[in-house]
Amino acid sequence: MKTNDHILQGIKNYLSSDSTDYAVMICGEWSTGKTYFLRHTLRDEVFCKPIERIKEDGEKESIHFQSIYISLAGMKSLEMLETRLRERNKCLLSFQPGKPGHCK
């Protein structure tokens, strides 16, 4: 088992549930590989292929998920974070299923 397999499996479990209305935040010390994990492992294992889940009515569906990456480094106010979230949301709104990837 790789070091981050438990994190990857937890995210896959969350995304396969029928209530994914919340963000996932990955915390860790500086230079521990959080950005690498998002941009490589999660991209390859989650965002470049559909996640299958079972809806409340029992039907299966395949969902493509999109990610955004926001670093809090250098942010000095909540307003700066809100602005960054709005910018990233514009990228998410242009997401096209079948063209997986993530907003930079």
* Residue-wise pLDDT tens digits, 47-97: 778 888 888 788 888 888 777 778 888 889 999 988 888 888 776 666 555
Q: What is the largest CA-CA distance in the chain?
A: 46
Does pTM surpass 0.85?
A: no
Residues 6+ positions from 28 with CB-CB distance below 8 Å: 34
H or E element, residue 82: helix 78-93
Q: Interior CA angle at 29 toward 23 and 35, to 5°?
A: 55
What CA–CA distance (Å, rounded) separates 27 from 23?
A: 13
DSSP state of 39: I
